Chain A
Amino acid sequence: SYEVTQPPSVSVSPGQTATITCSGDALPQQYVYWYQQKPGQAPVLVIYKDSERPSGIPERFSGSSSGTMVTLTISGVQAEDEADYYCHSADSSGIYVVFGGGTKLTVL
C-alpha cells in the first residue's frame, strides 16, 4: 500500500525556523494537507493544497512543494507550536487517503 514519509522528530529553539518534510511517489500528482495535533485534541488543519493557509492560521505557517517532497515551514517558532504534525495526501488513484507517520516538533 502507498505510504508517505515524515521525519519522526524535529527540534528547534524559539524564534528559529522549523521545517518538516513529507515525501511520497504520488505527491507530484496529489495535494498535501498539514495538520497540527496537540495532546488530547483533534487535529487542526494548518495548510491545504500544499501551500494555502486556512483563515485563522498564523502567517508563520507556510508550505511548499518540489517533486516528490512537500515541506511545512514554521518561521519564528513559538512555544505554542510544540505539537505533532501530520501530512495527509492520497495515492495515485486519488481514492485512498494516507497520513504520514507524524513529526513531533519540540521547541527547546
Chain B
Amino acid sequence: QVQLVESGGGVVQPGRSLRLSCAASGFTLRTYGMHWVRQAPGKGLEWVAVIWYDGRKTYYVDPVTGRFTISRDISKNTVYLQMNSLRADDTAVYYCARSQDDYSNYGPFDIWGQGTMVTVSS
C-alpha cells in the first residue's frame, strides 16, 4: 500500500529546532520528487520545500529559506524536514506529499500524509 506517515511534530519554544520525518511505503523515494506543505490553523495550504527525485536539488519558500532543510535517507525510505530558529508563524500542520509521476519533481501531489502538528509557543 502506497502511503506516507509523518511524525515528529509537537510543541516547541521560539528559536528552538524540530525535525519532522515522513516515512514512505509502497514506493521508493529514488524515483519521486517529495514535498513538504504546511497549513496554519484556519488558513490555506502553503508549499514549503521540495527535494528532487535524484536528491541533487532542494528548493524552499522564501519565509523558511536559511532556517529549514529538506533531506532524505534512501535506506530508510524517509524524508526529513529540519526546522531551526522556529517562529510563532511556523505553527501549522505539516504534510509531506509525493509528486504523482515517477522521475518527476513537480506536477500534482497524488499521495499525502496525514500531517503532523507543529506548535511554536513559549
Contact = CB atoms under 8 A, between A and B. Distances in A.
Interface of A: 1, 31, 33, 35, 37, 42-45, 48-49, 54, 84, 86, 88, 90, 94-102
6 contacts: A33-B107, A33-B108, A44-B112, A86-B45, A88-B47, A102-B44
A88 B108 contact: yes
Contacts of A96: 47, 59, 61
Contacts of B120: none
B44 A33 contact: no
A43 B112 contact: yes
B100 interface: yes
B107 A48 contact: yes
A44 B110 CA distance: 7
A54 B45 contact: no
A1 B64 CA distance: 14
Contact of A97 (B44, B50, B100, B114): B50
A101 to B, nearest CB: 5
Contacts of A44: 112
A3 B62 CA distance: 13
A88 B62 contact: no
A99 B95 CA distance: 14
Interface residues of B, number: 21
A84 to B, nearest CB: 8
Contacts of B95: 42-43
A60 B23 CA distance: 34
B98 to A, nearest CB: 11
Contacts of A88: 45, 47, 108-109
A96 B115 CA distance: 21
A107 B113 CA distance: 27
B44 to A, nearest CB: 4
B110 A45 contact: yes
Interface string B15-47: 000000000000000000001010000001111
